């Protein structure tokens, strides 16, 4: 099996680390986006409930 | 002149020590695992048929994260001696002696207790009960009972990691349904191939610590076969959300593609008899398994029927 020199190993590890950081940043961004989506969805639902309460005759 | 310089250096060193300590405590909470747990919990909240007040939703997500972190800290305390023997874990704060075991245990218990109480008082008690059950299952059933005793440890213990979408669903609706149980089952059946891919290339590490992981006890061939079985079982299971009306066609097509790629990854692990390039196929499958779960849940949210 091919053996990497210490410099090649260090460069490979640095590249792996950089890639892991990018992946982690994307994952965090997705989770934050979903969190915002949850909050917005909840906010809209609250608004809808409030408007339904404000106009009770609409259901007749 | 020397006096103020010394004070400045001391001040800098003190600040560095504090930031180091904070980093250690954050590490105790297993932030990467926490991220996946929060993600699946959020998906449970979003897939539920009703939306809750944004502030209550934020509290629910905070509680899920805090409880997962607490369970992770207690797990690290209980496994600190074995962690010290493994290359993968020996740099953790407890084996390195950077955090005292009692402090870590205190932090863990506080996080679990506080998150359960907050979830119960602010959200609902079903979500709180599930949150406590997940943490206690992870600590007592997985960490203490199963992990040191049986190669099926992560099959049954995997249930602990499958709770978050159910908790999110329960937080939103106040009850459980077939769809929430399905979300649980998807993570439950995903855990074995995910974890066994890791334990294939970390086999020697686990053997050194005395954990009876499947590749250590039953061998690599048997492990690879089990991985393939669970990967194939996931295929029909992940398509069920479209059949029960939880998701639409986009998810259905996406899930088929993701599953086929997962099967290909499992096949590559199966065919890699010489474990070429330091278990490259198993490492790739481990990485892909995380991407797979992430995408399956993301697609469900985006294509919610």
Per-residue model confidence as pLDDT tens digits over A17-48: 888 888 889 889 999 999 999 999 888 988 88
Higher-pLDDT residue of A8 and B257 is B257
Cβ contact B233:B155 at 8 Å: no
Q: Which helix (H) or strand (E) holds B134?
A: helix B125-136
Residue contacts between A and B (CB atoms, under 8 Å):
51
Residue B34: count of CB within 10 angstroms of its CB: 20
The low-confidence residues of chain B, meaning pLDDT below 70, are 1-20, 274-278, 305
| Alpha carbon of A11: minimum distance to chain B alpha carbons (Å) | 18
| Alpha carbon of A49: minimum distance to chain B alpha carbons (Å) | 11
Q: Which residues of B80-116 are buried (b: 16+ CB within 10 A; e: fewer)?
A: bebbbbbeebeebbbbeebbeeebbbebbbebbeebb
Query: Which one of A20, A23, A31 makes the best mutation probe of the B interface by having the most chain B beta carbons within 10 Å?
Result: A31
What is the average pLDDT across A39-58?
A: 82
Q: Name residues 15-34 of chain A within 8 A of B (Cβ).
A: 24, 27-28, 30-31, 34
The pLDDT value given to residue B275: 67
pLDDT at A55 over 80: no
The pLDDT value given to residue B17: 53
Nearest C-alpha in B relative to A1: B277
CB contact under 8 A, A42 and B43: no
What are the chain B neighbours of A35 within 8 Å (beta carbons)?
A: 42, 58, 61
Q: Which helix (H) or strand (E) holds B131?
A: helix B125-136
The pLDDT value given to residue A16: 81
Higher-pLDDT residue of B46 and A10 is B46
What are the chain B neighbours of A40 within 8 Å (beta carbons)?
A: 54
d(CA B226, CA B232): 10
ipTM of the complex in this document: 0.73
The pLDDT value given to residue A2: 56
d(CA B191, CA B237): 14
The minimal CB distance from B46 to the residues A24, A34, A46 is found for: A34
The pLDDT value given to residue B158: 87
CB contact under 8 A, A39 and B54: yes
CB contact under 8 A, A35 and B61: yes
Q: Name residues 270-299 of chain B within 8 A of A (Cβ).
A: 277, 294, 298
Instruction: Work out whether the CA dihedral A49, A50, A56, A58 comes out positive or negative.
Output: negative
A45 interfacial to chain B (CB closer than 8 Å): yes
Tokens of B26: 């954050």
Q: Environment class of residue B170 by beta-carbon count within 10 Å: exposed (0-12), middle (13-18) or buried (19+)?
A: buried
A1 interfacial to chain B (CB closer than 8 Å): yes
């Amino acid at each position: 099996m091919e053996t990497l020199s210490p410099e090649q190993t260090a460069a490979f590890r640095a590249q792996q680390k950089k890639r892991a950081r990018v992946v982690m940043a994307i994952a965090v961004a997705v989770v934050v986006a979903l969190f915002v989506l949850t909050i917005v969805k909840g906010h809209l639902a609250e608004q809808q409930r409030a408007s339904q309460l404000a106009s009770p005759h609409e259901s007749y | 002149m020397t006096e103020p310089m010394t004070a400045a250096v001391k001040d800098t060193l003190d600040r560095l020590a504090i930031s180091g300590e904070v980093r250690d405590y954050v590490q105790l909470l297993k932030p990467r695992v926490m991220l996946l747990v929060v993600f699946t919990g959020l998906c449970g909240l979003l897939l539920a048929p009703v939306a809750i007040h944004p502030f209550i939703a934020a509290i629910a997500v905070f509680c899920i994260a805090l409880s997962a972190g607490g369970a992770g800290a207690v797990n690290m305390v209980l496994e600190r001696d074995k962690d010290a023997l493994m290359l993968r874990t020996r740099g953790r704060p407890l084996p390195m002696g950077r955090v005292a075991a009692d402090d870590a245990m205190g932090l863990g218990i506080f996080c679990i207790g506080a998150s359960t109480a907050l979830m119960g008082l602010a959200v609902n008690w079903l979500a709180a009960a599930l949150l406590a059950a997940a943490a206690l299952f992870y600590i007592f059933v997985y960490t203490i009972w199963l992990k040191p005793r049986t190669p099926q440890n992560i099959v049954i213990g995997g249930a602990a990691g499958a709770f978050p979408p159910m908790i999110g669903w329960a937080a939103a609706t106040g009850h459980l349904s077939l769809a929430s149980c399905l979300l649980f089952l998807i993570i439950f059946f995903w855990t074995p191939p995910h974890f066994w891919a890791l334990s294939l290339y970390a086999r020697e590490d686990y053997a050194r610590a005395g954990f009876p992981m499947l590749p250590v006890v039953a061998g690599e061939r048997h492990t690879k076969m089990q991985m393939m079985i669970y990967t194939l079982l996931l295929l029909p299971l992940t398509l069920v959300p479209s059949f029960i009306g939880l998701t639409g066609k986009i998810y259905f097509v996406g899930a088929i593609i993701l599953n086929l790629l997962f099967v290909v990854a499992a096949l590559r692990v199966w065919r890699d008899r010489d474990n070429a390039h330091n278990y490259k196929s198993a490492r790739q499958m481990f990485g892909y398994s995380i991407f797979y779960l992430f995408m399956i849940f993301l697609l469900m949210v985006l294509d919610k029927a």
